[in-house]
């Protein structure tokens, strides 16, 4: 996934949710989330359901077996999450920290997008429930006590199980306070107690991860009385967001294993796209067929796709973020597939392959592809602990700029084009054909750790435990008169997920072929006979 713009992980697939009275039941957490960010009906939403009759309510109150026991085993992430909370606490001693997960987002009227927890919140808790809020409260020992506020169950013991659209009759059983506490090994309290807890916090001693929950933002006012630790910091709350991103830069063993699972599922999804390519070629919008093929694998082996899949065939491959995925799949052209499975643990892969739809590269396609492959290999070779984060980009761009110069396309020398002085003559002219950066961090977000300072990310050195992409590309627009006609409309990108190790790096997605001969052999093996 290229790095110039961020990508939402929300999908457009939604379940048609039935709504009853539109008012929470007696034990529903009506005081915590706002309608705009939760499952409650927002202003302007309309329902034509009738009000339940009194006799019906009385009949629904009896005759049920005891609620099912949802107690389960400890979540594997629990001990890792505890260590992460402790690390965060050391960054902000004697301060209260408030980290909400966010809530359901409206897709249309009274239907919502599938919920995905906020990445920082999930990294600290492992909790998947909407509207939940984590509080880290300083204690006399100089550490922090953890309290997680979650919605309690809407089981048969409360009318909310059928009067609320998020009750168990409508959406099925879900863990409540007790079950969540047992699984995550965190003290949990009902979400109905959150407003009082937030009211006890002193703004001058509290930091909030803002922008996720409007009611939390309103309950804990921004404190203007103390300047941020750095003059260029947006706010004291902004420092909390920065710290979370910076702590997430280094993946622990649990995270690396989850990312390996995501990559393995992604490889299976790419292979299935190769199998389905002939079928896609028979459709007027075959890109959609391939997109759906990969999405099916993501849903079977993981949670979802980690970002909007890019299936760009022919000249669509020159559009960096071709999200429409509605074009034809024509033999003789290239298919650029930029896709990643988000695992059940919410870690995502991000892999790109550019494949010949007919199963074999033409001479001109091969020429462009080989340059991008050489650039990517140079970038991968530059990944090692202690190397600058930008070294893979610099290495890849040198290969690309040299090739463009050799082809007579650069109006400057290679060194002039590669100059990092933005005002130098000829600086950056190679970027006309390769606009995006070569790498970005990867993890719970496809563009991971986005709030980290440049000093700890873009301008920092790589360290063991980081996972980043290496994804150079060449894109010759169909209307670009500076390139010969045979190159116009060709777009190639190759992307792999690279783990920085103690002695170098490891390509997590190495199981997916990259070399021309390997790709052609792989495609022959998986094409229907």
* pTM beyond 0.85, yes or no: yes
Which CA distances in Å does 177 have to 132, 186, 190, 307? 11, 10, 6, 31
DSSP state of 443: S
Residues 373 and 517 in one domain: yes
pLDDT digits 0-9 by tens, 418-462:
999 999 999 999 999 999 999 999 999 999 999 999 999 999 999
Residues 130 and 148 in one domain: yes
Domain total of the chain: 2
Q: Would residue 421 count as lying in a domain? A: no
Regarding predicted confidence, which is higher, 1 or 298? 298
Q: Would residue 417 count as lying in a domain? A: no
Torsion of the alpha carbons at 159, 163, 169 and 173, rounded to the nearest 10 = -70
Write down which residue in 247, 277, 304 finishes a domain: 247
Determine the pLDDT at residue 8: 33
Q: Would residue 18 count as lying in a domain? A: no
Residues 268 and 196 in one domain: no
Q: Would residue 509 count as lying in a domain? A: yes
Listed in sequence order, the residues at least 6 apart from 438 whose beta carbon sits closer than 8 Å to its beta carbon are: 379, 392, 393, 396, 397, 470, 471, 472
Q: What are the structure tokens assigned to 135, written together?
A: 């509080």
Ranges 33-47, 293-307, 377-391, 427-441: which has the least confidence: 33-47
Average pLDDT, the chain: 91
Judge contact between 466 and 500, C-beta under 8 A: yes
Residues 375 and 341 in one domain: yes
Q: Would residue 266 count as lying in a domain? A: yes
Per-residue pLDDT at 37 exceeds 50: no
The CATH number assigned to the domain holding 363 equals: 3.90.230.10
Dist. CA 391–CA 406, nearest whole Å: 23
Per-residue pLDDT at 19 exceeds 50: no
Average pLDDT over residues 409-417: 98
Residues 165 and 274 in one domain: no
Please name the helix (run of DSSP H) or strand (run of DSSP E) that holds residue 218, with its range, or none: helix 214-219
Q: Would residue 116 count as lying in a domain? A: yes
Dist. CA 335–CA 359, nearest whole Å: 11
Q: What are the structure tokens assigned to 241, written together?
A: 């967001």
Q: What are the structure tokens assigned to 289, written together?
A: 């067929």
Write down which residue in 228, 247, 266 finishes a domain: 247
pLDDT digits 0-9 by tens, 273-318:
999 999 999 999 999 999 999 999 999 999 999 999 999 999 999 9
The percentage of residues in the chain with a pLDDT greater than 70, rounded to a whole number, is: 89
| 3-state secondary structure (DSSP) of residue 129 | coil
pLDDT digits 0-9 by tens, 216-275:
999 998 777 655 555 555 689 999 999 999 999 999 999 999 999 999 999 999 999 999
Q: Would residue 393 count as lying in a domain? A: yes
Strand partners, 341: 305
The CATH number assigned to the domain holding 106 equals: 3.40.350.10
Residues 444 and 471 in one domain: yes
Q: Checking DSSP bridges between strand 496-501 and strand 467-470, what pairing results, if any?
A: antiparallel
Determine the pLDDT at residue 166: 85
Judge contact between 85 and 146, C-beta under 8 A: yes
Residues 182 and 270 in one domain: no
pLDDT digits 0-9 by tens, 94-153:
999 999 999 999 999 889 999 999 999 999 999 999 999 999 999 999 999 999 999 999
Q: Would residue 227 count as lying in a domain? A: yes
Residues 464 and 347 in one domain: yes
Residues 159 and 218 in one domain: yes
Judge contact between 430 and 397, C-beta under 8 A: yes
Where residue 43 falls among pLDDT bands split at 50, 70, 90? low
Residues 224 and 345 in one domain: no
- In DSSP notation, 79-110 reads HHHHHHHHHHHHHSTT-EEEEE-----EEETT
The percentage of residues in the chain with a pLDDT greater than 90, rounded to a whole number, is: 81
Residue 499 belongs to what domain range?
Answer: 253-406+437-526
Per-residue pLDDT at 203 exceeds 90: no
Strand partners, 443: none
Residues 172 and 290 in one domain: no
- In DSSP notation, 271-328 reads HHHHHHHHHHHTSTTHHHHHHHHHHHHHHHHSSEESS--EEEEGGGGGSTT-----S-
Write down which residue in 196, 226, 247 finishes a domain: 247
CA angle 473, 475, 481 (to 5 degrees): 155
CA-based R_g, the chain, Å: 26
Nearest to 346 by CA among 212, 442, 244, 249: 442
Residues 170 and 284 in one domain: no
Dist. CA 507–CA 515, nearest whole Å: 14
| 3-state secondary structure (DSSP) of residue 408 | coil
Per-residue pLDDT at 67 exceeds 60: yes
Listed in sequence order, the residues at least 6 apart from 301 whose beta carbon sits closer than 8 Å to its beta carbon are: 265, 268, 269, 341, 343
């Amino acid at each position: 996934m290229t790095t110039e713009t961020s990508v939402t992980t929300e999908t457009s697939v939604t379940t048609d949710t039935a709504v009853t009275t539109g008012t929470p039941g007696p034990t529903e957490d009506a005081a915590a989330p706002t309608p705009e960010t939760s499952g409650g009906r927002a202003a302007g939403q309309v329902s034509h359901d009738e009000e339940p009759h009194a006799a019906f309510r009385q009949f629904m109150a009896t005759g049920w077996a005891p609620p099912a026991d949802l107690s389960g085993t400890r979540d594997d992430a629990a001990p890792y999450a505890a260590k992460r909370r402790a690390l965060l606490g050391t960054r902000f001693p004697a301060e209260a920290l408030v980290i909400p997960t966010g809530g359901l987002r409206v897709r249309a009227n009274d239907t919502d997008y599938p919920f995905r927890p906020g990445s920082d919140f999930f990294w600290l808790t492992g909790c998947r429930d909407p509207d939940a809020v984590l509080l880290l409260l300083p204690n006399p020992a100089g550490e922090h006590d953890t309290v997680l506020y979650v919605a309690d169950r809407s089981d048969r013991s409360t009318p909310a199980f059928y009067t609320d659209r998020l009750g168990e009759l409508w959406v099925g059983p879900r863990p409540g306070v007790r079950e969540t506490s047992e699984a995550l090994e965190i003290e949990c309290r009902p979400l109905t107690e959150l407003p009082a807890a937030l009211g006890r916090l002193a703004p001058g001693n509290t930091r909030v991860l803002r922008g996720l929950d409007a009611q939390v933002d309103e309950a804990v006012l921004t404190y203007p009385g103390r300047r941020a630790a750095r003059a260029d910091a947006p706010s004291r709350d902004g420092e909390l967001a920065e710290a979370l991103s910076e702590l997430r830069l280094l993946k622990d063993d649990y995270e690396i294993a989850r990312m390996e699972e995501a990559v393995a599922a992604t490889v299976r999804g790419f292979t299935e796209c190769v199998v389905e390519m002939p079928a896609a070629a028979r459709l007027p919008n075959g890109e959609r067929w391939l997109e759906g093929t990969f999405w099916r694998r993501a849903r079977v082996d993981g949670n979802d796709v980690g970002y909007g899949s890019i299936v760009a065939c022919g000249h669509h491959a020159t559009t960096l973020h071709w999200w429409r995925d509605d074009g034809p799949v024509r033999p003789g052209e290239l298919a650029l597939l930029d896709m990643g499975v988000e695992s059940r643990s919410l870690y995502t892969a991000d892999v790109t392959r550019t494949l010949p739809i007919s199963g074999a590269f033409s001479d001109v396609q091969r020429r462009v592809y080989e340059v991008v492959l050489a650039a990517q290999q140079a970038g991968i070779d530059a990944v090692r602990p202690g190397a600058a984060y930008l070294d893979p980009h610099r290495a890849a761009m040198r290969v690309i700029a040299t090739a463009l110069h050799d082809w007579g396309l650069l109006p400057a020398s290679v060194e002039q084009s590669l100059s990092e002085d933005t005002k130098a003559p000829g600086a950056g002219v190679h970027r006309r054909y390769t606009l995006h950066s070569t790498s970005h961090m990867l993890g719970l977000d496809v563009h991971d750790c986005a709030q980290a300072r440049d000093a700890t990310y873009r301008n920092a050195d790589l360290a063991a435990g980081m996972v980043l992409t290496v994804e150079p590309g060449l894109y010759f627009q169909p209307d670009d008169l500076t390139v010969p006609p045979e190159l116009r409309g060709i777009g190639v990108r190759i992307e792999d997920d690279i783990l920085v190790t103690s002695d170098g790096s490891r390509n997590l997605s190495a199981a997916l072929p990259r070399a021309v001969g390997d790709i052609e052999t792989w495609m022959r093996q998986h094409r229907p006979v």
